[in-house]
Amino acid sequence: MTAAPQTPGIRLDAPAPGWAISADVVVVGSGVAGLTTALGCAAAGLSTVVVTKARLDDGSTRWAQGGIAAALGEGDTPEQHLADTLVAGAGLCDEEAVRTLVTEGPGAVHRLIAAGAHFDTSADGVIELTREGGHHRRRIAHAGGDATGVEISRALVEAVRDAGLRTIENALVLDLLTDAAGRTAGVSLHVMGEGQHDGVGAVHAPAVVLATGGMGQVFAATTNPAVSTGDGVALALRAGAEVSDLEFVQFHPTVLFLGTESEGQQPLVSEAVRGEGAHLVDASGVRFLLGQHELAELAPRDIVAKAIMRRMREQDADHMYLDARHFGAAMWERRFPTILAACRAHGIDPVTEPVPVAPAAHYASGGVRTDLHGRTTVPGLWACGEVACTGVHGANRLASNSLLEGLVFAERIAADIAALAPLTAGEPKSPDGLSALPPIAPEARAAIQRIMSLGAGVLRSDDSLRQAAAALEEVHRATADDGEKIPEPGVESWETANLLCVARVLTAAALEREETRGCHWREDRPDRAAADWDRHLVVRMAPDRSLVVTRTDSTAFPPTVLREHQP
């Protein structure tokens, strides 16, 4: 592990913890990454606490539809999965990380099945596999047709309950705690509502694993649930950790279009629908992806999203259509019951009419920078799943690699922590010496989301990003310069501070990367600039809240300073 960068000495403005419990490991988040890590740590005999923001099954995992990609089918190999992943990642995947993912993936899926997850199988018991964008073969295992995440979540929550793990639900984690020697000593958190612990408290532990999921709520329209407010990335930055590749936000091409004013979580229409033969068409029924890519509608996600955006612009339309009427009612009901119900709930019947779709924010390909054991640049802090940047996704995640990444790297993290045990930490230092970041008024959330969708969305430019950066600073200044506007510390205002923090970093990175690559689409820099930009952008926070942006190749720790973005 590398030495920790100097911590910025920043914390959220919150009351001192009024209660505390202790454990060997605290896992923050309860999706596939968090629960798999927790189960692995507990199985290794480590006392483990899971802290989660809502209920155990309320994270992003349960919303996953398409499935989990792994070389499970006859004739498929990890090498082929590796090749597809590298192509999607547009030159920025860490090949060793991808090799780890694809070789350990099939075993991890079988262990998940052994833990109780039921995948769809044929009559003779063979796992059914589907296709999604960027995969050259059927490689996606699914459950309940299009309810893969629900099933994985169910199985893992049940396993956690059976194992008797300590869990704290409805708890927003605030900051990393450290001891006098700067070692990780746990987390502070705020528990909402009734329960054994209420208000601000602490879990003291020498090992902290962030598995807090994504940050889709930083945009006005997203497939992510309400809990995805970038809390883990913001916490890691305040703790002095490096984050990487945040400019690579994946916009899912086919999200049910509910109108231009529709905000918050939007219903996903899985790529697996295209994998089973649905066509993307414009209002005249023309399949506009034919001839644009050898895989047509099953091209990697960024290519499909861009093709949709271009067609929308050419035709001055605000959405396109996904046509799968030829599936017929029986197939829709058996294979895509969740999507069918969501469409019908909004008055659209995919059996008889094309489904209106448009791209929306879906997945953060970047996150807290980790090595192959999930270790971050802060000793004692690990990160797993969407909150992490393992190097697996590069500039654009391959469809259905995310559940797999959560599984594989969770197993590695649990093994790493178990191998390091017993870890020790002293008493957590009082946070009094740290500068307190003011909470941001919850009313600013909608403004942040609008700023980001307008300036740092699927299409970006130097101009739009500069305007977004200035508007975000104005949101901060409006609170910081006017004491009366500083809201009472509380869950919504802390979340809004986290959203503002990740929005700033994302915008700074997107401004810095002067090229188009993967899911980062700069209108003013339409080409990929390989020689200059076969590199990653790494960001950390300085004590004055400025962002230190550096450029590095995938393995060079620590990177050299490029530029500082003043607050």
From the list 70-78, 397-405, 498-506, 513-521, the region that binds ligand SIN by CB under 6 A is 397-405
List of residues 6+ apart from 465 with CB closer than 8 A: 455, 456, 507, 510, 511
Q: Which is nearer to ligand SIN, 272 or 452 (CB)?
A: 272
Say whether residue 228 binds ligand SIN (CB under 6 A). Answer: no
Q: Whole-angstrom Cα distance, residue 280 to residue 403?
A: 26
168: left (phi over 0), alpha (psi -120 to 50) or beta: beta
Say whether residue 152 binds ligand SIN (CB under 6 A). Answer: no
Query: Which one from 139, 183, 274, 301 is the annotated catalytic residue?
Result: 301
Using a 10 angstrom Cβ sphere, with 0-12 exposed, 13-18 middle and 19 or more buried, the burial of residue 328 is exposed
Residue showing the smallest CB distance to ligand SIN in the complex: 66
Say whether residue 400 binds ligand SIN (CB under 6 A). Answer: yes
From the list 121-129, 214-222, 395-403, 458-466, the region that binds ligand SIN by CB under 6 A is 395-403
Q: Whole-angstrom Cα distance, residue 413 to residue 44?
A: 12
221-222 vs 279-281, strand pairing mode: unpaired
Q: Which is nearer to ligand SIN, 274 or 525 (CB)?
A: 274
Q: How far is the CB of 460 from ligand SIN (least distance, A)?
A: 21
Say whether residue 179 binds ligand SIN (CB under 6 A). Answer: no
Say whether residue 66 binds ligand SIN (CB under 6 A). Answer: yes
Say whether residue 272 binds ligand SIN (CB under 6 A). Answer: yes
- What letters, b where the CB count within 10 A reaches 16 and e where it falls short, cover 56-80? bbbbbbbbbbbbbbbbbbeebebeb
User: Identity (one letter) of the amino acid at 359?
Assistant: P
User: Residue 167 is inside which H or E element, if any?
Assistant: strand 166-168
Say whether residue 186 binds ligand SIN (CB under 6 A). Answer: no
264-265 vs 221-222, strand pairing mode: parallel
Q: Whole-angstrom Cα distance, residue 545 to residue 525?
A: 29
Residue 110's SS3 state is helix
Any catalytic annotation for residue 301? yes
Q: Which is nearer to ligand SIN, 147 or 417 (CB)?
A: 147
From the list 40-48, 264-272, 279-287, 558-566, the region that binds ligand SIN by CB under 6 A is 264-272
415: left (phi over 0), alpha (psi -120 to 50) or beta: alpha
Cα dist from 421 to 209, 370, 371, whole Å: 14, 19, 19
Query: In this structure, are residues 27 and 50 in contact, taking their beta carbons and an 8 Å threshold?
Result: yes
Q: How far is the CB of 363 from ligand SIN (least distance, A)?
A: 6
Residue 69's SS3 state is strand
Q: Whole-angstrom Cα distance, residue 463 to residue 479?
A: 25
Q: Which is nearer to ligand SIN, 217 or 270 (CB)?
A: 270
Say whether residue 386 binds ligand SIN (CB under 6 A). Answer: no
- Within residues 336-365, the interface with ligand SIN by CB under 6 A covers 363
From the list 157-165, 199-207, 398-406, 473-481, the region that binds ligand SIN by CB under 6 A is 398-406
Say whether residue 275 binds ligand SIN (CB under 6 A). Answer: no
Q: Which two tokens stand for residue 408?
A: 């594989």
User: How many C-beta neighbours within 10 Å does residue 284 have?
Assistant: 8
Q: Which is nearer to ligand SIN, 188 or 270 (CB)?
A: 270
From the list 183-191, 270-278, 314-322, 323-331, the region that binds ligand SIN by CB under 6 A is 270-278
Q: Whole-angstrom Cα distance, residue 119 to residue 461?
A: 43
Q: Whole-angstrom Cα distance, residue 122 to residue 314?
A: 43
Q: Whole-angstrom Cα distance, residue 537 to residue 509?
A: 7
Q: Whole-angstrom Cα distance, residue 271 to residue 399?
A: 8
Place of tokens 């996150």: 367
Say whether residue 320 binds ligand SIN (CB under 6 A). Answer: no
Say whether residue 134 binds ligand SIN (CB under 6 A). Answer: no
Say whether residue 396 binds ligand SIN (CB under 6 A). Answer: no
Q: Whole-angstrom Cα distance, residue 85 to residue 71?
A: 12
Q: Which is nearer to ligand SIN, 358 or 414 (CB)?
A: 358
Site string for ligand SIN, 434-473 (x = CB under 6 A): ----------------------------------------
- Within residues 290-319, the interface with ligand SIN by CB under 6 A covers none
Q: Which is nearer to ligand SIN, 388 or 475 (CB)?
A: 388
Say whether residue 58 binds ligand SIN (CB under 6 A). Answer: no
Say whether residue 188 binds ligand SIN (CB under 6 A). Answer: no
Q: How far is the CB of 406 from ligand SIN (least distance, A)?
A: 11
Query: In this structure, are residues 164 and 1 in contact, taking their beta carbons and an 8 Å threshold?
Result: no
From the list 182-190, 288-296, 380-388, 396-404, the region that binds ligand SIN by CB under 6 A is 396-404
Q: Which is nearer to ligand SIN, 41 or 90 (CB)?
A: 90
Answer for which of 271, 297, 405, 411 binds ligand SIN (CB under 6 A) is: 271
Catalytic residues: 301
Q: Where does this chain bind ligand SIN (CB under 6 A)?
A: 65-66, 270-272, 363, 399-400, 402
